[in-house]
Amino acid sequence: MTSRRPRIKPTPKRASVGVDVRDDGTRSPWTLGVLEGVQAALLGIIMLAVVSVIAWILSTSPLGTLFTVVAASVQVWLLSHGAPVSYDGGSFGFVPWLVTALPIWLCYRAGRRLTIAGGITRARRKAARTGTVSRYFSLISWVCMAVVYGAIALATSAAMGRQPLPTHPWQAAGGAFLVALIAGGVGVLRLPKKHRNDADDYPQTKLRAKLVGLVGEGVVDFAAASVRAVLLCTGIILAAGFVLVVVTIIVHHHQFAALYGTLGATGTGAIVLSFGQLLALPNLVVWASSWMTGPGFVLGTGSSISPFGTTIGPIPAVPVLAGIPTDAVDWAGVFVVVPALAGLAAGWWMLAKGIDAWPEQLIASASIGVGTGVLLGVLGGLSGGPVGPGLLMTTGPHAVQFALIGAAGAFVGAALALLAGPRIVPTSRKAAEQIASGARSAERKFASSGTRRQD
């Protein structure tokens, strides 16, 4: 007869001295926020430094030393948060959005991890009955992450000094804080699919419940649908701008190739130059969208580039700018209807959500127009910036005009869809109901005939 060994309950692992870990293996929100902020900042700097060093190694005529290359990559990281680089006679503040996409993605992922950690902490302590978790767990860790992220940008900018060019420390800190706050906030508020069964342990469910209690479920659903419609409308306008950029590159590829030859960009140099232009592709898409809707954009103080005419001086020797039209376009009026078509699609999408009363239709049309205009104006204002001394201190779309024309077109298109749509949708719904009823009757006849055969 063998004797069984008594089961020994495993003791929870303790962390080393100085790390705030509870008995149930969870950390405090302050510790999580600090760790995620440091990780997001360091990963962004390291990834840019690695890419810069690889380009420096592969270059046939490398510029500067390894230290200069690493320092420049750190300044690119600061620039990606909106901190311009100053030099004698001007500043460089044009931010390629694909560079900014890296810190945005890292901060978004940090926010996702924070909300998952908060939900797991609640579930563990609820199961172990070791205490409750503050309702502000995710909020505390999120804000702490943003503060630490901004502090790292402040310290980095101050430590860099004038190597190789100075940046304003507090401007770098403010931009980094906003990027971490917004991108991390989106990550915190997005409920992970793997954890939707435990939705009560996450802040998204509680936030929606509070909003429903304040204004009602119908208002919350209407607001959510309006936000999606605004994103749809803006996305269609930007998609049209992207198509315009691609078509321009294809049509003017000879000018692009000639400018590459003039710059002497061959081999690795051509790859680096193309990669640099690719980083600014989202900015160019916004510029093309502004040009397409009418306001256009500027490439220097006093210049104007629009479908109705072009007035421009010397421009930077960048191949992608070789496709800028020099004269007015005869069919420019066709482009102006793009915001209206985008609003028409967004309004039709809202109509499918069951908005059939005219007050709701009017509010939905106004929300689509205003939201699209605000979003286009913000994108237009952020897509430009100084790229050189003198006249080149001003580049980018006319943000206010871009916003107003986009808002007006989106409102007209959405109103047309929401007001004229109900006359079309009921007919299609009636036809669909007739088809469905016919299918059900045929199924019943088939089932009854099968029963008679068995009898």
Task: Count the alpha carbons within 13 Å of 9 in the hemisphere toward its beta carbon.
Answer: 2
Contact partners, residue 106, CB within 8 Å, separation at least 6 = 40, 43, 44
Range with the poorest average pLDDT among 97-111, 189-203, 394-408: 189-203
pLDDT at 179: 95
Say if CB 153 and CB 175 are below 8 A apart.
yes
Dihedral angle computed from the Cα positions of residues 174, 177, 178 and 179, in that order, rounded to the nearest 10 degrees: 120
Contact partners, residue 142, CB within 8 Å, separation at least 6 = 33, 111, 114, 181, 184, 185, 188
pLDDT at 17: 36
Task: Tell me the mean pLDDT in the region 174-199.
Answer: 79
DSSP state of 200: G
For 298, the 3-state DSSP assignment is strand
This prediction's pTM:
0.79
- Both tokens of residue 263? 């710059």
pLDDT at 160: 80
Q: Cα separations (Å) of 67 from 57, 72, 121, 393?
A: 13, 9, 43, 29
pLDDT beyond 50 at 14 = no
Q: Which has the higher per-residue pLDDT, 211 or 221?
A: 221
pLDDT beyond 80 at 212 = no
pLDDT beyond 80 at 38 = yes
Listed in sequence order, the DSSP H helices in 190-280 are 203-215, 217-251, 253-263, 268-279
User: Parallel, antiparallel, or unpaired: how do β-strands 309-311 and 297-299 relate?
Assistant: unpaired
Say if CB 124 and CB 424 are below 8 A apart.
no
Q: 85 forms bridges with which residues in the sheet?
A: 92, 167
Q: Cα separations (Å) of 393 from 174, 301, 390, 449?
A: 22, 7, 6, 81
pLDDT at 190: 75
Task: Count the alpha carbons within 13 Å of 371 in the hemisphere toward its beta carbon.
Answer: 24
Residue-wise pLDDT for 90-126, tens only, equals 778 888 899 999 999 999 999 888 887 776 555 555 5
pLDDT beyond 80 at 429 = no
Cα angle at 289 between 287 and 290, to 5 degrees? 65
Say if CB 375 and CB 420 are below 8 A apart.
no
CB atoms within 10 A of CB 65: 10
For 293, the 3-state DSSP assignment is helix
Task: Tell me the mean pLDDT in the region 70-91.
Answer: 84
Residue-wise pLDDT for 438-455, tens only, equals 555 665 655 565 555 555
pLDDT at 361: 84
pLDDT beyond 50 at 432 = no
Range with the poorest average pLDDT among 9-13, 14-18, 224-228: 14-18
pLDDT at 298: 87
pLDDT beyond 60 at 51 = yes
pLDDT at 30: 84
Residue 389 pLDDT grade (very low, low, confident, very high; cuts 50, 70, 90):
confident
Question: Mutual orientation of helices 97-128 and 203-215 as an angle, nearest 10°?
Answer: 90
CB atoms within 10 A of CB 130: 13
Average of per-residue pLDDT values in the chain: 78
Task: Tell me the mean pLDDT in the region 376-387.
Answer: 89
pLDDT at 263: 74
Residue 357 pLDDT grade (very low, low, confident, very high; cuts 50, 70, 90):
confident
Contact partners, residue 351, CB within 8 Å, separation at least 6 = 417, 418, 421, 422, 425
pLDDT beyond 90 at 46 = yes
Task: Tell me the mean pLDDT in the region 250-255.
Answer: 83
